[in-house]
Amino acid sequence: MQSPRLFCLCAIFLLIFSSFSSFANEAFRLPQHTHLSKQAVHLNIDPQKQVFSGVTTLHLSFAKPTDVISYHSKALNIKDVYLQYHGKRYPLTVQAPNQYEIVSHKAPLKLKDSATLHIQFSGNLSSHHEGLFRGREQAYLLTQFQSMEARGVFPSLDEPNKKSIFKFSVSTPIEYDVLHNTRVHSITKQHATKLTQFKATPRLNTDILSLAIGQFNATPLDTGHLKSKVYVPKRIPITLPTYFNQIVNASISHIETYLDAPFPFKKLDFIVGNYGSVAAMENLGLVSINYNQIPDLDATDKAHCQFKKLIAHEVAHSWFGNDITMAWYDDYWLNESFTEFIAAKVIQNLYPNQDLCTYTPQSRAFKDDNSKAMPLVFDVKSRKDTLAYGQLHYTKGRALLEMLEQAVGERAFQSLMRRYVDLYHGQNVSTKQFIKLFEDPNLQSVISSFTRQTGYPLVTLSRHNNQIFIEQKDLFNRPEQLWTIPVSLKLWDGGKISTHKLMLSQHKQKVALNKDVKAVFLDAGGVGYFRFVNQSDFEDIPIHKLSRQEKASFNDNLQALAITGHVDFMKYTNALVTELNLLQLGTPRADEIVSTLIDAYLEHVQLNSVSPYTSYLQKHIKLKIQWQQALEKPYGNSLMKLYGVYMQDSNAVNAAKRVYQSGEHIGHAHFDAIVMTLAKNATNEEYKSLIQDFSAIPTTEKEAFLSGLGYVDSAFKAALYYDLLLSDETQGMVIDYRFQFPIFNPALRVSSVQLINARKNEIFNRISSESLQWFPYNFLLACSDEQNKAVHQLFESWQSISGLKSKLSIVSDGIEQCTLNSERIGKSILAASPHSKQ
């Protein structure tokens, strides 16, 4: 699965996850001796109705005699349960599930070998994008079962290691089509009802079952014997990028070759729809894709790169996740890291010049991995715990695999992966079993130290008395943290480049290097899950001698050093601006620098520094921008954000106004940046009229419009914005994380606290308590003692929300960290712009 919030900075919210729930001492797992050999599920669904009903038969087998029958059921109304055993029927009393949604019946006698369980039930459509729910367009229903949500649609053994064969049939009003993991076996029409029966599934876990009910357009893909199709609800106008078919085929063939294992299943269709905050989901044979992930043709290379990677990722799940499945939810990183690892390889191989989005996964992970983050492997007992899955399971996990690959060598690592796939084909795997693949205890320790510990080390190279040392230190100052780190040094003797691999497992170690070494780079390959400083008297390797991945790592590391005070912040900014002035607009590096400057406004430039920082950029950036032309190019997007929203440049603002007033904004590739710029620079009256425009904006544009409207510059506008979020106009849209947009503006952080406090009841009515626990993340970019205090005061009366306290503590930790750094950064900005007004 992937959450779209992982893809944009607007979505820092939900990026760091944690949860420290306390559990009653009660079994949270089904009995391990009970297996589900097959299950038949029949559902009666009318998309116009809120209630659905069904009957199911579970064929259970028992590894040892038992007198307890258990299964999962969540918010279902169970009407009738009976057991069929040795030809006899035993009615069972309907029982309520326990806190882990497990229903247990005392069997009337000791059961041996096997029995069947028959359950009649009904349920309600979910009001969130989980279980069985309505697409926002109302005309179709979709499902999202990962994690632990299948049990909200039918009773089952809803655990990843209870793989089984499922046979589905669905009755609907005659005008609807039903899609499922497998192909249709038969369709029977009677009066106004249509019964769609499906072929049995391969053995799979409940999380990757899927249904879609509605009217769909189907586009065939050329995928050989798989005969794939892409389904889109009829009312959604979607154009798939022309490369879609190519990326699906290339992913399959590349992964088949890499793993020397054929595509494990017989079907690979796709369904596009409104999946809320899920970007895509690997449901076996019917992969879900959120329509908001599909980039416009004129979107940036980065957006296309990310979409391609998303598709490669979902295809890769056929092996990692669907065929080889995590043993339990605490091994989720195995599902997601392997798919990210392989997806990056597919993109780098297929699009070597447009693969920037696949570099340095660690640099994203570093943003979230601190002392309060969750380790990759952590205890999961309930659905609530799985909400702690964050981008680290993707980015940190992949970075870890890449470090291992570099340590053992590409070929040797490929052999290991092939062995893994061969050994565990069709089964479930735990982290322990993965670790056992590696015979070298050092490598085992690499995996355990990075999956069990949070944060990441700072690696330093130094020289004293002609001896070279390498050392590690926890960036969060926890003395007990120690990692086993595969480090690969890139060396230069003035002529030749070479690499030196070592395993850093102590706090400080000696390194033996050749005498002729002149320059070093501490992260050869750009895959190290650490920050690094060269404090030795070796020079840094000239940047043009680094690979593109290494350059990405170098730039990212330099930024981190500038934020943490190892390098002066404005010296670093100046280097960026100088580099930008020499680049052509639209090159990936120019885009990257513009994005870095935007990020600086979001994360590092605080209230007193906004004006001098802006003056500095206005004075030193020498780009000549023709706005009309720029807005027709992909790079116009981030340029409009930097100039229109942050530097409030009048030419940019006028260009945005022109587009909006001429009506060209509908369907405009940079609609989001244009709305953000208008919101920020509008008068109060103009802003009111923008808010009024929301109801008339076409559905396809509403998501971008609603986010863009949040980039405001006054408490007056922020109040209007929050009222819009809480109004009926946004029903069916995810509003929780959008509260952060006004808070991006350092001038509005304290007043936003008051505005939110005044709307507490409406917020509680609108957002489920499961989601409310993440609300403090809206303040993740807050950055002063005063703001920290205000945030704590706001949430004081929210403490009854389960899980909120730990989220607040992570946010608060981030605020403190930022406050410490911001003082130094602020001084650096002021020093660089001594004449600017404050």
Residue located via tokens 């590391």: 557
Residues 6+ apart with CB under 8 A from 441: none
Q: How far is the CB of 163 from Zn ion (least distance, A)?
A: 18
Burial class of residue 467 in the structure, from the number of CB atoms within 10 Å of its CB (0-12 exposed, 13-18 middle, 19+ buried): exposed
The residues in 53-82 that bind Zn ion, with binding defined as CB under 5 A, are none
1 vs 630, beta carbon nearer Zn ion: 1
1 vs 763, beta carbon nearer Zn ion: 1
AA letter at 128: H
Tell which residue, 161, 180, 175, 151, has the closest CA to residue 76: 151
Tell which residue, 472, 496, 490, has the closest CA to residue 540: 490
**Element (DSSP H or E) covering residue 830:** helix 804-832
Residues 285-324, one symbol each (x = binds Zn ion by CB under 5 A, - = not), give: ----------------------------------------
Residue 390 tokens, joined: 């964050």
Size of the chain, expressed as the number of residues it contains:
838
Q: How far is the CB of 316 from Zn ion (least distance, A)?
A: 8
Burial class of residue 349 in the structure, from the number of CB atoms within 10 Å of its CB (0-12 exposed, 13-18 middle, 19+ buried): middle
- Stretch touching Zn ion by CB under 5 A, among 158-166, 330-338, 514-522, 636-644: 330-338
Peptide bond into 147 cis (omega under 30): yes
The residues in 755-774 that bind Zn ion, with binding defined as CB under 5 A, are none
Q: How far is the CB of 290 from Zn ion (least distance, A)?
A: 13
Instruction: Return d(Cα 683, Cα 690) in angstroms, integer.
Output: 10
311 vs 655, beta carbon nearer Zn ion: 311
Q: How far is the CB of 206 from Zn ion (least distance, A)?
A: 16
Instruction: Return d(Cα 783, Cα 805) in angstroms, integer.
Output: 19
- Stretch touching Zn ion by CB under 5 A, among 1-9, 86-94, 402-410, 557-565: 1-9
378 vs 389, beta carbon nearer Zn ion: 389
160 vs 746, beta carbon nearer Zn ion: 160
Residues 89-118, one symbol each (x = binds Zn ion by CB under 5 A, - = not), give: ------------------------------
Q: How far is the CB of 451 from Zn ion (least distance, A)?
A: 17
270 vs 741, beta carbon nearer Zn ion: 270
Binding residues for Zn ion, total number by CB under 5 A: 2
Q: How far is the CB of 799 from Zn ion (least distance, A)?
A: 33
**Element (DSSP H or E) covering residue 524:** none
What is the bridge-based pairing of β-strands 34-44 and 165-173?
A: parallel
**Element (DSSP H or E) covering residue 144:** strand 141-144
- Stretch touching Zn ion by CB under 5 A, among 14-22, 24-32, 331-339, 361-369: 331-339
1 vs 690, beta carbon nearer Zn ion: 1
69 vs 287, beta carbon nearer Zn ion: 287
Q: How far is the CB of 390 from Zn ion (least distance, A)?
A: 13
336 vs 736, beta carbon nearer Zn ion: 336
- Stretch touching Zn ion by CB under 5 A, among 117-125, 329-337, 475-483, 611-619: 329-337
Tell which residue, 339, 337, 340, 389, has the closest CA to residue 368: 389
17 vs 100, beta carbon nearer Zn ion: 17
Contact between 599 and 744 (Cβ < 8 Å): no
Q: How far is the CB of 344 from Zn ion (least distance, A)?
A: 13
Tell which residue, 542, 539, 463, has the closest CA to residue 508: 463
DSSP 8-state secondary structure symbol assigned to residue 7: T
- Stretch touching Zn ion by CB under 5 A, among 171-179, 332-340, 367-375, 745-753: 332-340
- Stretch touching Zn ion by CB under 5 A, among 118-126, 266-274, 334-342, 693-701: 334-342
Q: How far is the CB of 1 from Zn ion (least distance, A)?
A: 5
329 vs 721, beta carbon nearer Zn ion: 329
- Stretch touching Zn ion by CB under 5 A, among 103-111, 202-210, 333-341, 803-811: 333-341
Q: How far is the CB of 46 from Zn ion (least distance, A)?
A: 32
C-alpha dihedral over 98, 102, 106, 107, to 10 degrees? Answer: 170
Instruction: Return d(Cα 314, Cα 508) in angstroms, integer.
Output: 41
The residues in 184-213 that bind Zn ion, with binding defined as CB under 5 A, are none
Kindly provide the residue ranges of all beta strands, DSSP E only, lying in 151-285, ordered along the sequence: 165-173, 177-180, 184-190, 193-198, 211-214, 216-220, 229-233, 269-273, 280-281
The residues in 335-374 that bind Zn ion, with binding defined as CB under 5 A, are 336
Q: How far is the CB of 440 from Zn ion (least distance, A)?
A: 29
Tell which residue, 413, 257, 255, 220, has the closest CA to residue 346: 255
Longest dimension (CA), the chain: 91
Around Cβ 811, how many Cβ atoms within 10 Å? 26
336 vs 405, beta carbon nearer Zn ion: 336
**Element (DSSP H or E) covering residue 142:** strand 141-144
Q: How far is the CB of 328 from Zn ion (least distance, A)?
A: 17
The residues in 703-732 that bind Zn ion, with binding defined as CB under 5 A, are none
Residue 529 tokens, joined: 């899950």
319 vs 476, beta carbon nearer Zn ion: 319
Phi first, then psi, for residue 114 (nearest 5°) are -155, 160
Residues 585-624, one symbol each (x = binds Zn ion by CB under 5 A, - = not), give: ----------------------------------------
Residue 644 tokens, joined: 């229109």
Q: How far is the CB of 87 from Zn ion (least distance, A)?
A: 45
- Stretch touching Zn ion by CB under 5 A, among 328-336, 445-453, 622-630, 687-695: 328-336
Site residues for Zn ion per CB under 5 A: 1, 336
